[in-house]
């Protein structure tokens, strides 16, 4: 029998395993990437960056073919819906299963920045001074220089957005009493019965997405050799 708490909420599946693995992978890899860059451990920086690229590519593919709450088409809403949601934020209870209209856009912005960051890293560096990304020689020195500048600035932008991300999560926790972090850990959260449940998809899809994402990342790491 389903358990209902005093607020009329029941435990519901919200995030599948692939979404959670990607998310906590980002959390672990970001400090590793920062530390390896600061300490010029560039071989490890590039290995960790390749893993991050594979996770981001996987998450993007999963946003098209993954379970219902992972899909961009389901959680990306137009500006009017986002504005209405933000206006009514304070009166909200735990009624949105998955990303709310504002959180959905912040997820896509973070993923886009992570993609730009990992991709620019592939081309970054100066062959006459220090390490270079595996695709550095595929672009001219000027373009590689621009991409290196972006790669350095991009990290600061990502850090600023992660800080905002954490402030938003703390706001939900303390002002709205919504425990988003435990949902990202366990995959479950308390939801109104009418919110429904996450609709899963066959695990084979995750395997196919992982093979594609991992294959592209490894191919780039190896200097994009011709087939
Ligand atoms: C300890 C630090 C962090 C915590 C506690 C945390 C927590 C969360 C939570 C609870 C959600 C779900 C929000 C919702 O219900 O809509 C989420 C989503 C997300 N977070 Fe974080 N986060 C952290 C760090 C990061 C970092 C470092 C990144 C990457 C730069 C990141 C990127 C994302 C993305 C892309 C999503 C969307 C997930 C998806 O749809 O796949 N987070 N985070």
Q: pLDDT, tens digit, for every residue of 123-160?
A: 999 999 889 999 999 999 999 999 999 999 999 999 99
Q: Could you tell me the distance, in angstroms and rounded to a whole number, from the CA of residue 144 to the centre of ligand 1? A: 30
Give the separation between CA 157 and CA 162, rounded to whole angstroms. 9
Which residues of the chain form beta strands (DSSP E)? 10-13, 125-126, 129-132, 188-191
pTM value?
0.94
- Return the ligand 1 atom nearest residue 161 CA: 30
Within-domain flag for 6 = no
Does a structural domain hold residue 4? no
Quote the ligand 1 centre to 106 CA distance (angstroms): 9
User: 104: CA distance to ligand 1 center in Å?
Assistant: 11
The string of pLDDT tens digits covering residues 21-76 is 999 999 999 999 999 999 999 999 999 999 999 999 999 999 999 999 999 999 99
User: Of ligand 1's atoms, which has the minimum distance to the CA of residue 99?
Assistant: 16
Structural domain that includes position 191: 13-221
Over residues 155-201, the pLDDT tens digits come to 999 999 999 999 999 999 999 888 999 999 999 998 888 888 899 99
Q: Is residue 8 part of a domain?
A: no
Provide the CATH number for the domain around residue 45: 1.20.950
Number of domains in the chain: 1
Whether 2 maps to a domain, the answer reads no
CA of 59, closest atom in ligand 1: 41
Residues for the chain: how many in total? Answer: 227
């Amino acid at each position: 029998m389903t358990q209902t708490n005093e607020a009329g909420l029941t435990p519901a599946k919200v995030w599948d395993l692939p979404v959670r693995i990607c998310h906590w992978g980002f959390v672990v890899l970001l400090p590793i990437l920062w530390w390896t860059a600061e300490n010029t451990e560039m071989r490890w920086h590039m290995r960790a960056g390749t893993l991050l690229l594979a996770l981001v590519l996987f998450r993007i593919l999963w946003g098209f073919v993954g379970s219902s709450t992972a899909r961009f088409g389901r959680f990306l809403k137009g500006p009017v819906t986002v504005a209405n949601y933000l206006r009514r934020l304070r009166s909200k209870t735990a009624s949105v299963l998955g990303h709310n209209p504002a959180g959905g856009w912040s997820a896509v912005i973070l993923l886009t920045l992570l993609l730009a960051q990992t991709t620019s890293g592939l081309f970054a560096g100066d062959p006459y001074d220090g390490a270079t990304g595996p695709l550095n020689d595929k672009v001219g020195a000027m373009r590689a220089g621009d991409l290196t500048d972006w790669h350095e600035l991009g990290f600061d932008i990502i850090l600023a957005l992660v800080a905002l991300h954490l402030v938003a999560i703390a706001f939900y926790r303390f002002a709205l009493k919504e425990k988003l972090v435990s949902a990202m850990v366990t995959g479950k959260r308390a939801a109104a019965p009418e919110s429904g449940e996450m609709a899963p998809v066959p695990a084979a899809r995750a395997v196919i997405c992982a093979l594609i994402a991992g294959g592209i990342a490894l191919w780039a790491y190896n200097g994009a050799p011709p087939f």
